[in-house]
Chain A
Amino acid sequence: MFLDILLVLDSTLRISAPLILACLAGLFAERSGVFDIGLEGKMLAAAFAAAATAAVTGSAWLGLVAALGASVFLAMVHGFACITQRGNQIVSGVAINFIAAGATALLGQAWFGQGGRTPSLSGAAKFQDIRLPGAESLAQLPVAGPIWAELISGHKLLVYLAFLAAPASWWVLHRTRFGMRLRAVGENPAAVDTAGISVAWLRYRALIVCGLLCGLSGAYLSTAQGAGFIPNMSAGKGFIALAALIFAKWRPIQALLACLLFGFLDAVAIRLQGFDWFGLGELPSQAVQALPYLLTVILLAGFIGRAVAPRAGGVPYVKER
C-alpha cells in the first residue's frame, strides 16, 4: 500500500512537471496582460523541434535548444499579432495551436515518414534519470529510504527544473525590477507607459519568458518523459496548464500546487483503472480526467473563491487622449 502511494506520487511528479512549466509560461504572459491560449501549440512545436533535432543530432541538449527556439518563435508571432498589430489575443492563440498541430505532424511525416512520429530516441538523444546521491544506500531505510530513492531521486533534469521554476518565478515577479514592471503592465499599462517604460518591449520580454518555459515543457514531453515525438502528443496539457493557471489565480506557488493536484488526479486515474470502489463499480476514468476542467469551471463561476484575472489582460494597449 505504501509503495502504491509512492508510485502514484512518483508519477504525479512526472505528469505535473510539464504542466508546471507550461502553467508558469502562461503566468508570465498573462500577468503582463497578454492572454495566451496558445500554450498547447507552443508545447507541441517545442516537443517536435526537440525530438526532431535530437533524432538527427543525437543530442538531447541540441534538441532542447531547438525546442526553446521553436517555442519562442511562436511566442513572438503571438507578440507581433497581439502587441504590435493589436490583434485579438484569443484568436492569435487559437491560430498558433492549429499552426503547431498542423506543421508538426506535416513536417514529421515529410521528414521521417513514420506517420508523423520522429524516430525513437535513446541514449544521449534523450534526457536520462538523475540518481541523487545516496539513492542506493539509503533505500533500505524505512519510510524515508523509499521516499528518497523512489520519489525524490530518479527523475529527469527537467522535472527538478520545473519544481525550481515555481519559486524562481515568484522571486522574479516580486523581487526584481522586471517582475514588478511585468505585474504593473498587466494591471495598468498606461501607468507603465507614463513612467517612461515601453509597454510593448516589456510584454515582448514576458512572452519570451513564456516561450522559453513552454519550450522546456515541450522538450520534456518528447525527449525526457517520452522517447520521441508523436503527433498531438501534448494532448490538451496546454489547456490543463491554462486551467491550473486560473485555478492558481495567476500566482506561481499556487500554480505549482494546482499542477500537482491536476497531475495527481491523472496519476490516480491511471492507477485506479479497473479498481472496484467497494462494490459500487468502477469509477470511470473519464470522470477523473474531466475533473480538472470541471474544477476550473466551478472556480471561474465563483462557487469556490474568486479568480480575478490581471486587469489589463486581453486588451491591446492603445495610448488614449
Chain B
Amino acid sequence: MAAPAIELIGIDKRFGPVHANRNIHLRVEGGTIHGIVGENGAGKSTLMSILYGFYQADAGEIRVNGRPVRIRDSQDAIRLGIGMVHQHFMLVEPFTVLENVMLGVEGGALLARGRARARAELQRLEADYELRVDPDAVVGDLPVGLQQRVEILKALYRGAEILILDEPTGVLTPEEADHLFRILARLRDEGKTVILITHKLREILAITDRVSVMRQGEIVATRETAATGAEELAELMVGRRVLLRVEKGPARPGPVRLGVRDLRVVDAQGVERLRGVSLDVRAGEIVGIAGVSGNGQSELLEAIAGIRAPAAGRIEIAGSAAQGLDPARMRALRLAHVPEDRHRMGLVTRFEARENAVLGYHNDPRYGRGALIDRAAVLAECRRQMESFDVRPPDPFLKVANFSGGNQQKIVLAREIGRDPEVLIVGQPTRGVDVGAIEQIHRRLIALRDAGKAILLVSVELDEIRSLADRILVMFDGRIMGEVPPDTDEARIGLMMAGVAEGAA
C-alpha cells in the first residue's frame, strides 16, 4: 500500500493559554477527498495552517508521501506540493487573474516570459479541470465564486498535488458550491488529494471519501464517509448525544412588536443585499432566521438596529415608525441588539468590563445627569449584570479581552437583556462560546420570550435555530424564501437555504 499523501503524528500547538491542537494523528490517503469537520474553534484551521507552514507546531511530525518533512513557511509547503485555498481569499484585488496566479512563481526577474507561460498554463488548467476564468479580468471585479476559482488555480499553477480548502462554501451560492464540488471530484479523479475543512455536515457527506472529526483541538474519530451518517458525525462534533435541545413550553404570541416591510439595503459597492424583506415578530415569540452566512442576515440585523440606513422599506417597533433612526434612538424605542460579532461590534475589548456594561446606554440619565458619567452607578450596573448572568470572574475592572469567549458574550447579553427590552435582535448568540455557556444563553433567551418579549434570532447554526425558534424564516440572497415550523425536516430547510423556493413567505 502506498504511503499516505499526508501523515500527521502527534501535532501539538498552543497559543498562549489556548490549546488549539492536541496530539493530532491524521492520515490522508493520496487520490482521495478527506473531510475535516468540527465546530467553529475546534482547531481545524490551525491544523491546516501548520500544514501550510503558516504556523509552526510546538511538537509532532509531518510526513508527506511517507517522508518526514519540515514546513517552516509557505514556500516549503508549496515545494512539497501542498496548496491551500484560505477561507479569506489571499488575493490582490487590483491585480488581474494572471498576475495573482503568477505572484510568487514569476519565473524570472522580468515578468514578460513568465506571463506568457502562465497564460498558456492557465488555458491548460481551464481545459483539464473546468476552471474557466478570464486571465485578464481584475480580481476585485469578480464574484466570490470566481475569486475562489482563482485561488484554486493559484495552487494548481504551483504544482499542488495536495489541495487544502478551508471552509470553501461559506461564501458561495449553492450553484457555485455545486460547481466547486464537481471541480474537486475532477481533481481527485486526476489523482490529486483534497482536504476539505468545513463545519457543514451536508458537504462532508456529499463529496468526501473519508472524514475526520475535530473537537476542542483533538481528532476524535476518522470514518469512511460511506459508513457514517449525519447523526453520528454531529454527535462526534458536539461530543454528546443530545443535540442542544432546550426545554421550552409553547409560545404564546401577543401583538406584533417588530414589523419589517419591504426592507431594502444597498451596500457600499452598490450591491443590493436585502431585496425587499418583510417579517413580523410578536411579543412572546422567537423568530429564527436560517440561512447560509452572507445571504443578507447581517444587513437585516444592522438595518433594524439602525446601524445601516435602509434604501427603502419600513421598520416599526411597537407600532412606531423607526426606519432611518440611529442606534441611539432605536434603543430609546427599547430595541436591544446582540450583534453577530462581539469583538468587532459588541464590545470594546480594550476597556474594562464596567465601561462595556453601558456601551450604547451611556447617555441614560441613570449613569449621570449632565455631561459627566456617574461612575458609581456604572459600577453598580456592571456588578448587577455580572451577577445576574454569572459572568466569571465577576470583576468589573478586568479588561474584556481577558474574559473567555463565553463570558464576553454573557457581558453583551447581560447588557442588552438586562434592560428589559421590548424587542431583542440577536445574531450568532453562541458563536465561539463553550458548551456550558451555550445552555445558559439559550435558557435566558427562552426566559425572555416567556416574559413576553419579541425576539428575532439570526444564526448560521441550524440546530440552534431549530431548538430555539417558534417560527423559522429561511433567507437566501437577500430574500425570505419562506416560513416553516421548527420541527421541519432539516433537508427541507436546507433546500430552501440553497435557494430552492418553497412555500410563500
Contact = CB atoms under 8 A, between A and B. Distances in A.
B78 interface: yes
Interface stretch (A103-111, A156-164, A174-182, A257-265): A174-182
A193 B74 contact: yes
A304 B86 CA distance: 38
Query: Looking at chain A's contact residues, is the secondary structure mostly helix, strand, loop, or mixed?
Result: helix
B93 A180 contact: no
Nearest to B55: A319
Interface string A188-220: 101111111110000000000000000000000
A150 interface: no
Given A175-B112, A321-B15, A321-B45, A195 B95 contact: no
B91 A188 contact: yes
Size category of the B interface is 35 or more
A198 B110 CA distance: 19
Contact of A196 (B46, B78, B86): B78
Contacts of A180: 99, 102-103, 106, 111
A190 B84 CA distance: 13
Interface residues of A, number: 23
B74 A194 contact: yes
Contacts of B91: 188, 191
Contacts of A175: 110-112
B249 interface: no
A254 B270 CA distance: 29
A184 B92 contact: yes
A297 B15 CA distance: 45
A177 B106 CA distance: 6
A197 B104 contact: yes
A178 B100 CA distance: 14
Given A177-B106, A195-B103, A321-B15, A188 B111 contact: no
A176 B45 contact: no
B181 interface: no
Contact of B92 (A174, A191, A319): A191
B109 A176 contact: yes
Contacts of A178: 109
Contacts of A195: 74, 90, 103-105, 154
Contacts of A192: 92, 103-104
Interface string B231-268: 00000000000000000000000000000000000000
Given A191-B90, A192-B104, 18 more contacts: A175-B110, A175-B111, A177-B114, A178-B109, A180-B99, A180-B106, A184-B92, A184-B95, A191-B103, A192-B103, A194-B74, A195-B90, A195-B104, A197-B103, A198-B73, A311-B93, A319-B55, A321-B49
17 contacts: A176-B109, A176-B111, A177-B114, A180-B99, A180-B102, A183-B94, A184-B92, A184-B103, A187-B93, A190-B88, A191-B91, A191-B103, A194-B54, A194-B90, A196-B76, A197-B103, A319-B54
